[in-house]
Amino acid sequence: MDNIDRSLINTLQEGFPICDAPYLQVASQLGISEANLLTRLQVLLDAGILSRFGPLFHAEQMGGALSLAAVKAPEAEFDTVAEQINALPEVAHNYARNHTLNMWFVLATETLEQQFSAIERIEQETGLTVYNMPKIKEYFVGLKLEA
């Protein structure tokens, strides 16, 4: 990573312009070409320096539903259960935890009814109880990691 990459990361954490040519605007701000900016962004993503680049939506404000859920997956069946859960398009991501509830995942659906339906399918397919933990209140943490 060079100084331009660091500036790119720091600049993008402050926001992304909403205009006809947002990449060009950011590139101009950094003193590089739009093509250079796009190449650098892709290299940072491919190298894993950035895990993602894109918008964050408030699904609930658009009528959708998000929820954190967990199951107690038997260790011997952990990979099989993970495959079953990950096969559902409603599952945004899934990860193991060192806890009684050892598999956690995020459900993202267009409606609350679809969320309940996904939970029901998971329980039927895995034979496990899904512990649904919907968000009660949202807190904004303004985190900026200086590159």
CATH code for the structural domain at 59-134: 3.30.70.3460
147 and 4 Cβ atoms separated by less than 8 Å:
no
Q: Please, what is the angle between helix 22-30 and helix 34-46, to 10°?
A: 90
The 10s digit of each residue's pLDDT in 101-115 is: 999 999 989 888 999
Strands 103-109 and 91-96, sheet pairing: antiparallel
Domains of the chain: which residue ranges? 3-46, 59-134
3-class SS of residue 107? strand
> Helix or strand or coil: residue 45?
helix
- The pTM of this model reads 0.63
Q: Residue for token digits 């199951």?
A: 71
- In the predicted structure, residue 87 carries a pLDDT above the cut 80: yes
At 90 the pLDDT is 92
pLDDT 10s digits, 130-141: 999 988 887 777
